[in-house]
Amino acid sequence: MNETRRIRPPARFDDLIDKLVFQKDSPFETKQALMMFAAAIGYSIVGKREPIEKAGEGIDWGIFERRQDTSFIYALALADKESIAILGQENQDEDDLITIFEEYAAAGLQYIKQHCVDVPGNALDNLLSLLADARMRHSDPPPGLDGLTTAELELLGGI
């Protein structure tokens, strides 16, 4: 992937990013970590991409590579397109992968803003509640493992 490519959150979330990353006692250590979390929320909870009208300050693609986040970005694009062709060099504009990631992150940032920041309480506590709720929603065992107890699933690594 092009090392000069930057992953850009929507500019309208600059204040949210500042609050969740750069202020004292912020729940995220880096903007990159927040983007990864937001993209996961965008895909798993919101379930849709949100187009970006105006991009904010970007993060170098190399940071995601060094943090070994590219596998998630590729898997997200694969799940979105439901075709392995998105990963093929000859069939892929590398911006497609990034755009998919950015748009799921935008949807996730909007969700985080509405459900964790713009509500009463501490943002970190609200994020933890969001995770607990998501875990409960997705607590059904994977296909083929539906006969196992919760203890047996935990033994398998919390599948």
Question: Where exactly are the structural domains of the chain?
Answer: 6-155
- Taking the complete model, does pTM exceed 0.75, yes or no? yes
Residue 115 burial by CB count (10 A; 0-12/13-18/19+): exposed, middle or buried?
A: middle
Tell whether the model's pLDDT for residue 117 goes beyond 80: yes
Mean pLDDT of the chain: 86
Q: Flag whether pLDDT at 89 surpasses 70.
A: no
Residue 91's pLDDT is 44
CA neighbor of 98 nearest in space, from 122, 69, 124: 69
Per the DSSP assignment, residues forming a β-bridge with 48 are: none
Helices (runs of H) and strands (runs of E) counted in the chain: 7, 2
What confidence tier does 139 reach under pLDDT thresholds 50, 70, 90?
low
Q: Which residue has 């006969």 as its token pair?
A: 147
Q: What's the rounded mean pLDDT across residues 14-30?
A: 93
